[in-house]
Amino acid sequence: MKSLYFITFFLFLSLSFFSQNSLNFDGTNDFVNCGNSPSINITGNALTLEAWIYPTSWRFNIWEGNIISKESSVGTGYMLRAGSNGKLNVNIGSGGPWNELTSSTNVLTLNTWQHVAASFDGSFLRLYVNGVLTDSIAKSVNIVGTVTNNLYLGESPAYSGRYFPGRIDEVRIWDVVRTKNEIVSTMNSEMCNIPSSLKAYYTFNQGIASGTNVGMTSLNDASGNGNTGTLSGFTLSGSTSNWVTGATISPGIRTTLFTDTVCSAYTTPSGRIITTTGITYDTLTSAGGCDSLLMFDISISSVDDSVYRVGGRITSYDTWASHQWVRCDSAFAPIAGETNRFIIANQAGDYAVIVSRGNCKDTSDCVSISLTGIEENSLNSISVFPNPANDFIQFESSSKINSVRVFDLNGKLILSHTISNNRLEIGNLVKGVYVMEINTTETSKKMKFIKQ
């Protein structure tokens, strides 16, 4: 049997929060080497650095706890750092003395996820914690990029041993100035539609949190600029120096709005098979960690290809569909004029019916008619109505019906009832197609029915 599904994908705006993964840096020898491509060799007077951090201890000096660092020993590059009992620091190189801003107070907290950001617009350096501006300083210089050293996360590429202790997540490096409102608008969610100004983007959504991740030594760059990171020093097993649970932010989302019509069970991109009427949600996760959240509003209109025979009369169970009777023993040739729900065979042979509704059709099993001593046995004398049904199904049988069992299309038992009045109540079933096993005093029979 095949079914007709009307599937509509709607924009799904209500997002639930979930925990991403991150990397835990042990503060001893863990760091990520993200290479030295031109896209991250930022120069000029516009820069924004962002990250979620979960510090587990403080380095004594502010310059020892590197979160993001692309610096040289000759005063070029940029960096974002934390330490000194909870202070935040940004530093940019202009080819001479460093241009630095450190928060005036201890704005950070141990063992807590917090969003940190720094920006430079050619006139001011600014620091933000959880979207709140904490400090600023006037600096009228131009950033001089460093082409000699790579971008590191969790360590300095120029001065060894400046390791960050704790977790890092959602690192973003921009070659534009992000305003306070822009930082706030995106810091609590992943980004899926990547602007060209986002030069490196690390979501850290890899590995199994606190599991065995030996071999998972690359950090993906979701910006599309190819700044893949290489992990160094990580043990990649357990709750430290490994992929672990990350900051709790909302997933990024891509949505596609389209309508599809099919005549079989619909399989979603994640492999879920939809067989019942109602609203269903599904999630498709991209390689960059962004989810496409899909809402399926499905109405099922099914054709039932089952038939029953009483003597030389063969009847289709589907009362709504169009019918065309055929001869199986004549290459399924249509029988002229036989388009009713039933056929009375006046010739020996094998008969079947093509049941169709809209664009969907299916063909019943073939029934052999001999016209010699045709008798109605108890197996073929059971009939049910209505079908499709809303609240109940009524039975007619030449022998006593003892019990009825109802299964879904996956074979799971849904109902099992003793029958006393040849009636089965189905009002509590959800809409869909089911298989019914009818047990009489002499035999049993299975047939399909539709709950509408």
Give me the phi and psi of 231, to 5 degrees please. -75, 140
CB atoms within 10 A of CB 177: 18
Q: Can you tell me the mean pLDDT for 41-60?
A: 97
* Percentage of the chain modeled with pLDDT above 90: 56
Q: Which DSSP helix (H) or strand (E) runs through 228?
A: none
Question: What pLDDT is recorded for position 288?
Answer: 45
Question: What pLDDT is recorded for position 270?
Answer: 67
- State the Rg of the chain over Cα: 34
Question: What pLDDT is recorded for position 445?
Answer: 79
**Cis-peptide, bond into residue 334, ω within 30° of zero:** no
Fold (topology level) of 18-249: Jelly Rolls (2.60.120)
> Helix, strand, coil shares of the chain as percentages rounded to 5?
5, 50, 45
Q: 164-209: per-residue pLDDT in tens?
A: 999 999 999 999 999 999 999 999 998 878 999 999 999 999 999 9
Residues 6+ apart with CB under 8 A from 252: 189, 190, 191, 192, 289, 290, 291
Question: What pLDDT is recorded for position 65?
Answer: 97
Rounded distance between C-alpha atoms, residue 239 and residue 275, angstroms: 41
Rounded distance between C-alpha atoms, residue 60 and residue 40, angstroms: 29
Q: Which one is predicted more confidently, 110 or 272?
A: 110
Question: What pLDDT is recorded for position 383?
Answer: 76
Residue 326, token pair as written in the block: 């055929």
Q: Which one is predicted more confidently, 48 or 395?
A: 48
Going by CATH, does the domain composed of 303-376 fall within 2.60.40.10?
A: yes
Question: What pLDDT is recorded for position 264?
Answer: 62
CA dihedral 233, 236, 241, 244 (to 10 degrees): 140
Check if the beta carbon of residue 126 is closer than 8 Å to that of residue 92.
no
Rounded distance between C-alpha atoms, residue 13 and residue 446, angstroms: 44
Task: State the average pLDDT for the chain.
Answer: 86
Q: 436-450: per-residue pLDDT in tens?
A: 888 887 777 778 888
Q: Which residues of 405-428 are buried (b: 16+ CB within 10 A; e: fewer)?
A: bbbbbeeeebeeeebeeeebebee
Q: 75-89: per-residue pLDDT in tens?
A: 999 999 999 999 999
Question: What pLDDT is recorded for position 273?
Answer: 76
Question: What pLDDT is recorded for position 18?
Answer: 39
CATH of 378-452, picked from 2.60.40.1220, 3.40.50.10140, 1.10.3720.10, 3.30.1330.100, is 2.60.40.1220
Q: 218-240: per-residue pLDDT in tens?
A: 999 999 999 999 999 999 999 99
Question: What pLDDT is recorded for position 4?
Answer: 37
Listing DSSP states for 56-118 in one string gives: SS--SSGGGSEEEEEE-TTSEEEEEEEETTTEEEEEEEESSSEEEEE-SS----TTS-EEEEE
Residues 6+ apart with CB under 8 A from 370: 348
Q: Which one is predicted more confidently, 446 or 216?
A: 216
Q: How far is CA 348 from CA 82, 200, 351, 367, in A?
A: 90, 76, 9, 11
Check if the beta carbon of residue 227 is closer than 8 Å to that of residue 151.
yes
pTM passes above 0.85: no
Sequence spans of domains, the chain: 3-15+253-301, 18-249, 303-376, 378-452
Residue 376, token pair as written in the block: 């109605």
* Percentage of the chain modeled with pLDDT above 70: 83
